[in-house]
Structure 1
Amino acid sequence: MSSIPRHIISSLRYDPSLPHSLQSLPPTSYPDPLRSPYYLLPYHQDRLRDAAKCFQWPEAQHFLQQDLTQFAQFLDKFIPDNTQPWRLRILIDRSGTCTVEANPTTAIDLRTLLLPLPPTHDSQSNPWRVYIDSETTTPSALTTHKTTARDCYTAARLRSGIVSPQDPAEVLVVNPSGEIMEGSITTPYFQRRGRRQDTDPAWVTPVLTSGGNSGTTRRYALGQGFCAEDIILASDLADGEECWLSNGVRGFIRGQVVLSARTSTS
């Protein structure tokens, strides 16, 4: 796997209903001072800045020096219809050229973008299936930062029988020490093991030293006190265990660990 990607990337949701949903929230509960339709926009800009610095792309760093308002105005140019929600994929190459792919995305309950909702009868019946990769992945700059070099994630999904982006399933990527790094397209959260103080969050997410990506929703969940960081061993996860997943397009999603072999690729 090459250590230099073609693009650094970040994927996020554009939703015209988001600013209205944020109106009643105090400023400290959501990190975008613009209250823009771009979900967690400051965190996506920070993620791209960190990647450009890591790969030593000065032109990309220069492009990303613009302030948040300018960045939002730049993204506005790529929205085909500002009355509809979109899945955006921001790509920046080493020359600082930025392109944005916009694809339609389905309407969702916007409360799921803010923090995990308490389970309901309907949500309990349809959690995502969460598999553990049968092979290990070696941490590198390409797992620490989100880039177009995603062969290891694609291979992990195929090994688990996930063949479609629409499949409500995820696979957890594991490092050679047996630690969960992250999901192929999400950040995972698990119930805390062992003794817990009353002030400790009930949920934990993998530490970055395990080799995963500092995702935008991960940063949001940590900042809001929903979870803490911890080393999570794949061997400690149980079949049927409930968990949470999150990413910058779908927000927070309920999941359930599946350790038995998959028999279909629905």
Structure 2
Amino acid sequence: MSGDKPDYQLISSLRYDKEALISAQWNTSRNGDRQSAYLLLSYTVDRLTTAAKVHSWAVPVELALDSLESRCDASLKNKDLDQPYKIRIVLSRQGEISVKSTPVPKLNNPKDLFVAAALNPSSSSLISEAPISVYLDTEPTSPSLFTSTKTTRREVYNLARIRVGIPAIGVEPGTPNDVLLYRSDGRAMETSIRNIAFLREGRWVTPFLQVGCLPGVTRRLLVEEGKIVESEILITDLKVGETLLLFNAVEGARLGKLCTSN
């Protein structure tokens, strides 16, 4: 890789969903008090801006809330706006921004994307989706610039998926399986496409960002609202069969279960 022409780009994805988001006050208040069908778009601006600085890239003037919203709107031109979409935003070192929209399934509980974060897993009758099966990786992953910022360089995540028998390609929101990555010192990080939290003493606990996991926009929201708290999680403390909380900006929050290896 040349220092002038990196073989990767910065990426961030979020959900477009009129039914779930247009009247959600928590989303409106974080969007300059304007109703929006994009999940936490202002947080996506913050995330990409911070990542660009971490990679020592110039921050383009187009990476602003109004400009990015217009680019997202353009990606949905001539599409059914009552359908939810995954919005994938890509930023190059040269400051070029591209946006692509892809249809995603409607949620069973579209009025509350984060109901799973508020429930006691032992009485989760409001959640009809089957839990996501999460397998503990068989090898540790070294934290790096490419685990603490989201880029198109996804090799460590694909390798982790392959090690536990999960396909590495064609990964889209809603996939029923995932893999939990951890460091060589035994500290849990995240899954291959989601941030994660564990139920400890009646609270959802998520790994510190300092372990090298991604600063997801949904993770930021859940921390701000006190639905999850940060702590150290060691894989030696995990139990097969325990309930997990998984979340990203396309799916919202989902329940998972720690499973034995495939």
Q: TM-score range by the shorter chain?
A: 0.7 to 0.9
User: Could you tell me how far apart the structure 1 residues matched to 2:133 and 2:96 are?
Assistant: 37
Contact between 1:34 and 1:69, CA under 8 Å: does it hold in 2? no
Shift of 1:47: 0.6
User: Is the alpha carbon distance of 1:111 and 1:125 closer, same or farther for their aligned partners in structure 2, counting shifts above 3 Å?
Assistant: closer
Matches of 1:76 and 1:29, distance apart in 2: 17
What is the aligned partner in structure 1 of residue 54 from structure 2?
Answer: 54
Q: Who is 2:17 aligned against?
A: 15
1:152 aligns with 2:156: yes
Distance 1:70 1:18 in 2: 23
Q: CA deviation at 1:74?
A: 2.2
In 2: Cα distance, 1:93 partner to 1:160 partner: 32
Computed over aligned residues only, the root mean square deviation of the Cα atoms, in angstroms, reads 2.4
Give the partner amino acid of 1:246: F
Q: Look up the match of 2:87.
A: 88
State the SS of the aligned residue for 2:161: helix
Mapping of residues 129-148 of structure 1, within 5 Å:
129-148=133-152
2:27/2:39 contact within 8 Å kept: no
Secondary structure (helix, strand or coil) at the match of 1:76 reads helix
Partner of 2:225: 224
Unaligned runs of 5+ in 1: 194-200
Give the letter for the 2:71 counterpart.
F
Gaps of 5+ in 2: none
Deviations 1:89-109 (Å, cap 9, x if unpaired)?
100101111111211111112
CA deviation after TM superposition for structure 1 residue 125, in Å: 7.3
Counterpart Cα distance in 1 of 2:38 and 2:152: 21
Check if 1:257 corresponds to 2:249: no
Counterpart Cα distance in 1 of 2:187 and 2:42: 29
Q: 8 Å contact 1:111–1:117 — kept in the other structure? A: no
Distance 1:29 1:10 in 2: 20
Q: Deviations over 1:163-202 (max 9, x none)?
A: 2535311111111111111111001010125xxxxxxx71
More moved, 108-117 vs 70-79: 108-117
Provide, for residues 48-103 of structure 1, a one-character-per-residue CA deviation record: whole Å limited to 9, x for no partner: 00110011111x44332x3x233212211111412321111100101111111211
Q: 2:191 aligns with which of 165, 172, 183?
A: 183
User: CA separation of 1:2/1:242 partners in 2, compared to 1, >3 Å: closer, same or farther?
Assistant: farther
Contact 1:18 1:36 in 2 (8 A): no
Identity %: 35
What residue in structure 1 maps to residue 72 of structure 2? 75
Bigger Cα displacement from structure 2, 109-118 vs 141-150: 109-118
**Aligned partners of 2:141 and 2:183 also within 8 Å:** yes
Report the counterpart of residue 127 of structure 2 in structure 1.
123
Q: Say if 2:111 is the partner of 1:111.
A: yes
Q: Secondary structure at the match of 2:51?
A: helix
SS of residue in 1 equivalent to 2:247: strand
